[in-house]
Amino acid sequence: MTDSPTCSSPLHAALVGFQAEVTDVSRASQAKIQPRDKSKPAFGFPYADLPTILAHVRPLLAKHGLAVVQDVSTADDHVWVRTIVLHESGESIDFGRLGLPVGDDNKQTGGSITSARRFAVLAALGIASVGEDAGDEAGGRRSSRASDRQLAKIGAEVERAGITDEELAKVLGTFGVAATDELSKAQASELIDRLMAKANRRARAAAAGADPQTGEVPS
């Protein structure tokens, strides 16, 4: 007979109990991104929205005497979300701040706040959002799929780099997929690096007065 592990801290014990029961949350919502160039079609990706995440975890949090609070602030052109897990004993864990760039308008800034809250609460509680592909055997492929944060970053960098739909489709083809939500985490990271490099070259060219696409400076 082996002894069960014990936790001296009521908060830690509650978190262990919560973790033992909580399940990952499904990506039941679909994000729609409209490029600034309205002639380009919108594109999207699945994700777990904030209300879905909170509805998923709150009953179990309450069962174990836990609660999550988040404080939002803005500084240095970023929105910052601080996430704290509280326990009814009075103990708490501060998970620090997560920042995302502010948007061009209130709507985009609100989206950044919501996204930061989603990412932070998932990380603090140690749960993941997973796709709903029935064909993924035993969930193995689900866990390797690109995260919501990666998909959002890809969308932002596609826009920043001025990538056309045809160009994006061609790049995705090199990974053997037809859509961004089919990428693995590793593939998504590689694609983000490629897009950021292209976006940075485009920004430098624009700053030098060159054509963002060709890099040539008009004579």
d(CA 121, CA 70): 9
With beta carbons less than 8 A apart as the criterion, state whether 161 and 195 touch.
yes
pLDDT digits (tens, 9 = 90+) for 37-87: 666 666 666 678 889 899 999 999 999 999 999 999 988 888 899 999 999
Q: Is the pTM of this model over 0.85?
A: no
Contacts of 62 (CB under 8 A, 6+ apart): none
Could you report the per-residue pLDDT of 142-187, keeping only the tens digit for each? 457 788 788 888 888 888 888 888 788 888 878 777 778 788 888 8
